[in-house]
Amino acid sequence: MNSKERIKAAIRHEETDRVPIDVGSTGVTGINLIAYSNLLKYLNLTDIKPKIFHTWSQIPEISDTILDLFHSDTVTLPRHKMSLGIANERFKEWKYPDGTLCLVPEDYNPNVNDSGDFEWFENGIRIAEAPAEGTHGFTLFHHPLKNASTTKEIDEWFDHYEGNFLARIHVSDEEIKWADGYAKKLIGKTNRAVVSDYFATVLENAQGILGWDTTYMHMIAEPKIASYFFDRLTNEIIVGLKKYLKNIGKYIDVFLVADDLGHQRGPMMKMEDYKKFIYPCHKQIFQTIHDYSEASILFHTCGSIKEYIPTLIDMGVDCLNTIQTDAENMNPNELKSEFGKDITFWGGGVDSHRVLPFGTSKQIYEDVKYRLQILSKDSGYIFSSIHNILGDVPPGNIVAAFSAAFELGNNKDLLNSNSSQMIKLLNESDYWKHPLEYLNKISTD
């Protein structure tokens, strides 16, 4: 069974020879630049220079050497313009303040302010800023339609604007040519599943263009304006999607759509508001992907989103990421028991908040084991961390996590040995919200 077959079988909930692994195929399952650079040094792979496609979040492309070493079953097909409105076509050498050398798009030229932080300007307006230490990406400071109150203002902006805010929405002829060549190279050199790092974001794009407060206030106080904006935004997304998939869809095995619907304690909005404003947009997007390609849909959302899962399944979502198990109502055993037959879980394979950055190799192994015993039962699971691996994670811990996933993923007897007693113990100890505390306790008992 090769990697592409393994991923497709897992999504179909068929038996696989081992648990499939995703190493950085998307901007939400990646490794931060500094963590990745430290990993390369740790492995004595200093001849590899990280290449950053996600300049917004500073997530590099994963080299073939690392994909092979960590037994990745996936490979990324990036966007031509992933962020900041700049093309990922020609690259130049760049040095971050900590000394990390990497390759960035040639048009990546942020301003450095008096504090040493990076600023991004567009048409003379400071739209975003990133801290100099490099372990986190840019934060948005400008929302072009924050004060828009009429449909005319919305239409005029969409009709005439070009730049960061629509860079991942519009699809140019240039992108089609670039993506076609990039995809053909991937297909020619690997049998890994090709994951389109597309995004097709609705709510998060609204939060960027309108601002968080305006987005939610419009839903309450100006619902007609809110609906008009979401309709126009979705139309722009659908036009781009159709063009992209007509030309590039034949290369794609898994298609990423990302939209954060939850936070740590619950959903971003009531289900009735989601159904009124966001659901029609998502439904059109998912239907378009299925109509214009044979790709499986991987939907990413952070946070506590259990109540959304049945609706996502009904809309045709095949895989769900990120499985943030320390969020409210995101117990992986409950999720697997209730929805495991209808959706493939992608992620949640190691705790990224506490265990991965601060745990020992043994603790990481135990954490991965508990999660795989639950989530990989009866297939329908692909391993990755909970969201991106951040810059302060020690390289040895990254190696420990993926090594554990491969070793345990090959041990069917161990994975099938999950007992109700073990699950009961983890639940009673509040393991999913406080995994490192539990692992510290049992190591001293």
Q: What does the pLDDT look like over 213-268, one tens digit per residue? A: 999 999 999 999 999 999 999 999 999 999 999 999 999 999 999 999 999 999 99
Supply 135's token pair: 């372990």
Q: What does the pLDDT look like over 197-222, one tens digit per residue? A: 999 999 999 999 999 999 999 999 99
Q: What does the pLDDT look like over 42-66, one tens digit per residue? A: 999 999 999 999 999 999 999 999 9
What pLDDT is stored for residue 100 in this prediction?
Answer: 86
Closest CA to 94 of 106, 83, 84: 106
What pLDDT is stored for residue 280 in this prediction?
Answer: 98
Neighbours of 63 (CB within 10 A): 18
What pLDDT is stored for residue 135 in this prediction?
Answer: 67
* φ, ψ for residue 65, nearest 5 deg: -60, -45
Domain that holds residue 191: 3-444
Cβ 350 vs Cβ 371: under 8 Å = yes
Average model confidence (pLDDT) across the chain: 95
Number of domains in the chain: 1
Cβ 292 vs Cβ 248: under 8 Å = no
Predicted TM-score of the model (pTM): 0.97
- Please state the rounded mean pLDDT for residues 37-42: 97
In the Cβ-directed half-sphere of 51, how many Cα atoms lie within 13 Å? Answer: 15
Q: Is the pLDDT of residue 36 over 80?
A: yes
Supply 91's token pair: 């690259």
Residue 206: give its domain's CATH number. Answer: 3.20.20.210
DSSP string, 92-138: EEEE-TT--EEEEETT---EE-TTS-EEEEETTEEEEEE-TTSSS--
